[in-house]
Copies of this chain bind each other. A is one copy, B any other.
């Protein structure tokens, strides 16, 4: 399919209108907000055009009709990824990635089925030369500065060489996006000494030392939140469990405050106060600020959002995608992977 010609060289970013627990409304709202926020981008919505148009109408929203890209099929949040992308070639997810591949789009963001997004980006868009395994990085809250965790689930059973790739790609991401010149990199393990770790980390450690990265050695679970390093690398199994565990901490805290509030009037008042103060204290930790997590190692800018993404999160995902495109991140990753393989 062909999109309007991109004569003005704006960055063309597509949003998966069908992906997310509150799709398409949050996705549409986020797209509209992002479009108003920057003159340098052209935002597109991919999905069932009748559903998108109805949603716009029902909510009294305006979005340029020629920026709606029709995709006949929808991959549900709980579908088996590999099967879904094989059988639903006309889904918003597969189409988004194909349009980047044929250079009709510059970036694609989706809060839909994470596995399908990863699988389609890897297969339909393709891997950057030198990248054995693409990786998803999570931006973790931290006391100071920025800590990112790679990989948080793009692949399990990561080999030592993959962990090195995560470190290279994660370093470039942090350097370019957060303007940290020499990001500190740590290898997640069970102790700081070189001898501590499992088979994979013990084999990965000397490989990481050989790179020209700012590698500090092993770090521990406690270093994820204390901001001592900027990039923490681990296998996707461990990273995914940490990510989900970390998310659940806030849920637990919320639920505890709620049940506390139910135990009488005084508690209710205290809970109200604590809620507003906690919100203030934790505002720097709002996942919506970063919107989503980057998928690195594929030949195009891809960002994956949380299923429950709000319009604000969607907007920030789109603006982050623009930043990644603008800074030529994919090319820089390719060069860096090449440099290391020499």
Contacts and interface: CB of A to CB of B under 8 A. Distances in A.
Interface of A: 141, 143, 153, 156-157, 188-190, 197-199, 201, 220-226, 234-238, 240-249, 251-252, 255-257, 260, 270-271, 273-274, 277-278, 280-282
A222 B225 CA distance: 18
A250 to B, nearest CB: 9
- What number of copies of this chain does the assembly contain? 2
A242 B242 contact: yes
A251 B270 CA distance: 22
A113 to B, nearest CB: 12
Given A221-B243, A222-B245, A223-B248, 7 more contacts: A153-B190, A156-B190, A197-B237, A221-B242, A225-B252, A245-B245, A274-B277
B244 A198 contact: no
Contact of A245 (B153, B157, B224): B224
B221 A157 contact: no
Give me the 10 closest cross-chain CB pairs, A-B, nearest first. Answer: A221-B244, A221-B245, A222-B248, A221-B241, A156-B198, A198-B237, A190-B240, A222-B244, A225-B252, A270-B277
Contacts of A242: 221, 241-242, 245
A199 to B, nearest CB: 6
Nearest to A221: B244
A256 B143 contact: yes
Given A198-B157, A273-B274, A273-B277, A240 B221 contact: yes
